[in-house]
């Protein structure tokens, strides 16, 4: 092959590589919409991922993360999460000493755990938008486990209380996802029970000296109250509730004989 032919071949290869690096075609095929800027995609290996379309003036791009394991896809010595490494360290400590007494996590290690927890938080916020509620439940439960672990075993007081201010938020999102799953199955009473339990937990949280805690607790209780009203409106009336409504309507319309009949039926049902 001549030198000229080699040069032409190299130029074509270079052009192909440049085209592969340009995400302009992807951005054009996915117009930006701030209400629908999150989607699931499947990679060449058949694995689902989550993508977020970004548009910040001159800067446009796509944020991509894994749906399972760490959002950034990194592993720690074959483990899906770095946090799993520290849980294993705890288990080894208990096996060696008979209890968790004396087990501590240093400030540098806490920083690594905090970073991973933040990444998981960012993912479940996006998962909520695409209504992947099962994964939201999974990720919020993982972060709650991290909160408890750090609060118990962090060596520094500052690290022990660092995540406590986010309890109202994570409890609210966890409850919201469980409520959505319950209502999808028509389990409205179970959904209302989840809401009541979440409200009780948030109200019973120990005070944390942080503005974020007070803001999130107030916001979370308000959001849960709105969610409860929404579920009550969607919940089909029970037979007794329908009869009570019909009886009230009969009284308003001065249909007293019908109201009396309904009253007797209700008495039998409720007894």
Q: What is the pLDDT, as a whole number, of residue 246? A: 81
Task: Provide the whole-model pTM.
Answer: 0.81
Q: What is the pLDDT, as a whole number, of residue 17? A: 42
Low-confidence ranges of the chain (pLDDT < 70): 1-20
In the chain, the N- to C-terminal Cα span, in Å, equals 97
Listing DSSP states for 26-92 in one string gives HHHHS---TTS-EEEEE-TTS-EEEEEEEEETTEEEEEEEESSSSTT---BTTBS-HHHHHHHHHHH
Place of tokens 């896809």: 73
């Amino acid at each position: 092959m001549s030198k000229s032919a080699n040069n032409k071949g190299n130029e074509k290869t270079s052009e192909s590589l440049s085209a592969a690096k340009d995400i302009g075609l992807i951005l054009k095929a996915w117009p930006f919409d701030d209400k629908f800027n999150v989607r699931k995609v499947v990679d060449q290996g058949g694995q689902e991922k989550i993508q977020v379309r970004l548009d910040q003036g001159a800067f446009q791009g796509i944020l991509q993360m894994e749906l399972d394991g760490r959002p950034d896809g990194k592993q720690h010595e074959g483990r899906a999460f770095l946090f799993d490494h520290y849980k294993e360290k705890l288990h080894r400590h208990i096996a060696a000493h008979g209890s968790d007494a004396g087990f501590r996590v240093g400030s540098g290690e806490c920083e690594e755990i905090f970073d991973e927890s933040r990444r998981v938080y960012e993912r479940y916020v996006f998962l909520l938008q695409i209504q992947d509620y099962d994964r939201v439940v999974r990720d919020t439960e993982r972060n709650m486990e991290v909160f408890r672990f750090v609060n118990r075993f962090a060596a520094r007081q500052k690290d022990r209380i660092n995540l406590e201010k986010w309890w109202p938020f994570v409890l609210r999102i966890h409850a919201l996802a469980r409520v959505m799953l319950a209502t999808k199955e028509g389990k409205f009473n179970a959904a209302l029970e989840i809401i009541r339990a979440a409200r009780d937990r948030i109200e019973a949280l120990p005070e944390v000296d942080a503005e974020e805690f007070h803001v999130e607790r107030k916001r979370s209780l308000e959001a849960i109250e709105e969610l409860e009203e929404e579920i009550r409106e969607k919940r089909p009336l029970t037979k007794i509730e329908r009869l009570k409504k019909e009886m009230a309507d009969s009284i308003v319309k001065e249909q007293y004989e019908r109201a009396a009949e309904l009253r007797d039926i209700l008495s039998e049902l409720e007894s």
